[in-house]
Amino acid sequence: MIKTYSQRLLPPYYGQAQIAESERARALTIDGQSWEIQFVLERKGGVNPENGQGTKLSYRRAVTISDSDIRQKNIGSSQVTKGLDEKQTVDERILELTDFLADVTLPFPVADTYEYWLLDSRDQLPLALIFSAKDSGQMNAYPSRPEWTALPAAVMPIEMTEDEISNSSSPVNYRFERLVAERAGINPKAKWFTRSEEEEFTFPSLMVREDWQEEEDVDLCQRYLTRQAPRLLMLHDLTQEQRRQLEINARSQALEVERFHPLYPEVVDQVLMNAILVEARLRGVTEGQPELHKRRDGIHYL
């Protein structure tokens, strides 16, 4: 039996991974365009299928296969030579997953409903999301680290103002990271929550609070979230208005939208989205694929 689900890549938030897993292997994608097949190396402890308690898995990267090859069932190509044995036959673990993936629809349902939040020192409410997990038994496997990290500037560069450049200011990413740390206080605290249960407060929908008091702090927060829009659109529990604004914000990052849009659960303004994708295709012809898109950041976190 193959299970499918999606899980946020944290920390920091990189995007929403789509995962299909069997007892012996799993396939992951962060953009719906290529799948990384990983083999299970070890399984320790008693396995509880309900919550995973007592289970420890490790994986070995086997091969990366394009989604187009999977859907065309072209798995005997040179792309999968690392998955071939001495008889030149494709490993059955790869075939099992790729046969299944040939007909799936993305994105998969959300599974990581257990969330580890950094708390605001003033009201002890969720300030910024640090980790997420799909099984309660996995929570103890995460470090008790009460600190939030921003997506690095090397992965998500944010345009600087002329004043910032002249003053040699550090990237927006890291200034906003420090801002969150300061709000968490000298002795920061974090707590696990279960999102499927009723809570008497509202969680930050974009995984970090936006209610900053100083105008400069509001500006840093919004510049960070605006730049992250192509990745935030992968989130499932957004209102129509939130999604509409993120689509508008994402227009300036057409190449990233083109990469991640197969994983968007919904599109509010299809005309705008089509315009963004057309721009991305035109830019792709002249500029080629950005080097950043070839990174496998995030996959090793799972």
Domain boundary among 227, 248, 272: 227
- Any domain includes 213: yes
Tell whether 118 and 97 lie within a shared domain: no
Parent domain of 9: 3-101
Tell whether 128 and 203 lie within a shared domain: yes
Counting as low any pLDDT under 70, the low residues of the chain are 42-56, 76-90, 196-200, 287-302
Tell whether 82 and 156 lie within a shared domain: no
Maximum distance among all alpha carbons in the chain? 66
CA angle 233, 145, 25 (to 5 degrees): 60
Domain boundary among 68, 101, 134: 101
Tell whether 56 and 144 lie within a shared domain: no
What gap in Å lies between CA 202 and CA 211, rounded to an integer? 13
Tell whether 198 and 158 lie within a shared domain: yes
What pLDDT sits at residue 62? 87
- Any domain includes 8: yes
Tell whether 85 and 175 lie within a shared domain: no
pTM for this model (two decimals): 0.86
Look at residue 197 and give its three-state secondary structure.
coil
Task: Return the number of other C-beta atoms located less than 10 Å from residue 142's C-beta.
Answer: 16
- Residue 246's closest CA among 217, 276, 219, 220? 276
- Any domain includes 144: yes
Tell whether 75 and 161 lie within a shared domain: no
Tell whether 31 and 126 lie within a shared domain: no
Tell whether 28 and 131 lie within a shared domain: no
Distances (CA, A) of 221 to 5, 157, 176: 30, 14, 6
Tell whether 118 and 213 lie within a shared domain: yes
- Any domain includes 241: no
pLDDT digits (tens, 9 = 90+) for 156-208: 999 999 999 999 999 999 999 999 999 999 999 999 998 866 566 789 999 99
Residues 192 and 144: beta-carbon distance below 8 Å:
no
Tell whether 130 and 208 lie within a shared domain: yes
Tell whether 126 and 217 lie within a shared domain: yes
What pLDDT sits at residue 78? 45
- Any domain includes 283: no
Tally the domains of the chain.
2
- Residue 103's closest CA among 235, 231, 236, 2? 2
- Any domain includes 269: no
Packing angle, helices 172-184 and 215-227, rounded to 10 = 120
